[in-house]
Chain A
């Protein structure tokens, strides 16, 4: 079974600054994928970034990067140059990759507020 822990219920960041959202995970699966989603107040779940457990390099998608530290079992999301539109809930999730499309397991989320 997988478990995701997001210890920061809420975070504030100044516009144009960088922010790190923490995510730690626990799994016994040797092969797994880590995901981050953004949920704005409108409710939709927006896929941001993916990191595979065997990927050698940290994933990057525009202003989003994933700081993957396998030994520490952490997959922190870094948002650079924060914008007001980044204010939202952010969820870390994972799935096992050993048997096809397995369900995602989510953390409880971090609410990010970007201040002008």
Chain B
């Protein structure tokens, strides 16, 4: 158990819908990262938050947004969903001062039908 909790584990939704993925980082970790893993694109970095502030942005679509709350949990919002958004979405967290670890949650498998 990595200590990073993601909910839900599985999500099936229709095109055009909106979903919210939730991530609770390990206790004490201030950084949260979101990644998308699809068959054709591999593991792609989406966005990073550090202590509530957006720190870095990767290949995140405008239809996607995220935030990190005061209790440090994070949510990834995906809207106007398309079939191509079907993927495994991972959240990872790490401690502020340590670059040697990045632990991942179990992922949310999103299927858009």
- Closest Cβ of chain B: how far from A110's Cβ, in Å? 12
Chain B residues near A85 (CB-CB < 8 A): none
Pairwise interchain contact A47-B56, C-beta atoms closer than 8 A? no
In this complex, how many residues of chain B approach chain A with their Cβ under 8 Å: the count is 27
Q: Are A103 and B45 CB-contacts (below 8 A) given A33-B99, A43-B109, A95-B99?
A: yes
Q: Pick the most buried of B94, B99, B100, B107: most chain A CB atoms within 10 A of its CB.
A: B99
Chain B residues near A7 (CB-CB < 8 A): none
Q: Which B67-113 residues have a C-beta within 8 angstroms of A?
A: 88, 90, 92, 94, 96, 99-107, 109
A-B CB proximity, top 9 nearest = A45-B104, A106-B43, A101-B31, A103-B45, A44-B106, A50-B100, A97-B99, A108-B42, A101-B94
CA distance A50 to B31 in the complex (A): 18
CB of B55 closer than 8 Å to a CB of A: yes
Chain A 41-73, CB-CB to B under 8 Å as 1, else 0, gives: 001111100101000000000000000000000
Chain B residues near A91 (CB-CB < 8 A): 43
Chain A 75-116, CB-CB to B under 8 Å as 1, else 0, gives: 000000000000000010101010011111111110000000
Chain B residues near A45 (CB-CB < 8 A): 90, 92, 104, 107
CB of A37 closer than 8 Å to a CB of B: yes
Contacts from A to B (Cβ < 8 Å): 33, 35, 37, 43-47, 50, 52, 91, 93, 95, 97, 100-109
Question: How many A-B contacts are there with CB distance less than 8 Å?
Answer: 62
- For A45, the closest partner residue in chain B by CB is B104
CA distance A47 to B100 in the complex (A): 10
CA distance A46 to B100 in the complex (A): 14
Chain B residues near A44 (CB-CB < 8 A): 2, 104-107
Pairwise interchain contact B102-A35, C-beta atoms closer than 8 A? yes
Q: Pick the most buried of A45, A47, A107: most chain B CB atoms within 10 A of its CB.
A: A45
Chain A residues near B58 (CB-CB < 8 A): 103
Pairwise interchain contact B31-A47, C-beta atoms closer than 8 A? no
Pairwise interchain contact B109-A101, C-beta atoms closer than 8 A? no
